[in-house]
Amino acid sequence: QSALTQPPSASGSPGQSVTISCTGTSSDVGGYKFVSWYQQHPGKAPKLMIYEVTKRPSGVPDRFSGSKSGNTASLTVSGLQAEDEADYYCTSYAGTNNVVFGGGTKLTVL
């Protein structure tokens, strides 16, 4: 069970787009559709933003989108807004009832 690899930080100016990557292996990200993304503001519980690679829960703005290619999943935030500044985490099913998280990416809106 190795953690998925995310860049420690990402940034963009209001209105711009930013993409956060999440790299795993064929045993987790590359092998299953169960990749999800979470947003966490300081002192708050995480919030589900994307599930099953590309799907958005009700209430999540369509500025947030997900994709996957091979062993790497990505979260793209378009039209950056100040409230998007937060930590973002990816997760994936890793087989045999196991789940693995990424190390997290701190998104800064400049």
Partner 1 sequence: EVQLVESGGGLVQPGRSLRLSCAASGFTFDYYAMHWVRQAPGKGLEWVSGISSNSDRLGYADSVKGRFTVSRDSAKNSLYLQMNSLRAEDTALYYCVKERGGTYPDAFDIWGQGTMVTVSS
Q: Which residues bind partner 1 (CB under 8 A)?
A: 1, 3, 32, 34, 36, 38, 40, 45-48, 51-52, 57, 87, 89, 91, 93, 96-104
CA 85, 70, 2, 93 torsion-angle sign: positive
In angstroms, give the least distance from the CB of 29 to partner 1.
13
Q: Which is nearer to partner 1, 13 or 97 (CB)?
A: 97
What string of DSSP letters covers 75-100?
EEE-S--GGG-EEEEEEEE-STT-EE
- Burial class from Cβ neighbours inside 10 Å (0-12, 13-18, 19+) for residue 76 reads middle
Q: Which is nearer to partner 1, 14 or 95 (CB)?
A: 95
In angstroms, give the least distance from the CB of 82 to partner 1.
23
Q: Which is nearer to partner 1, 50 or 77 (CB)?
A: 50
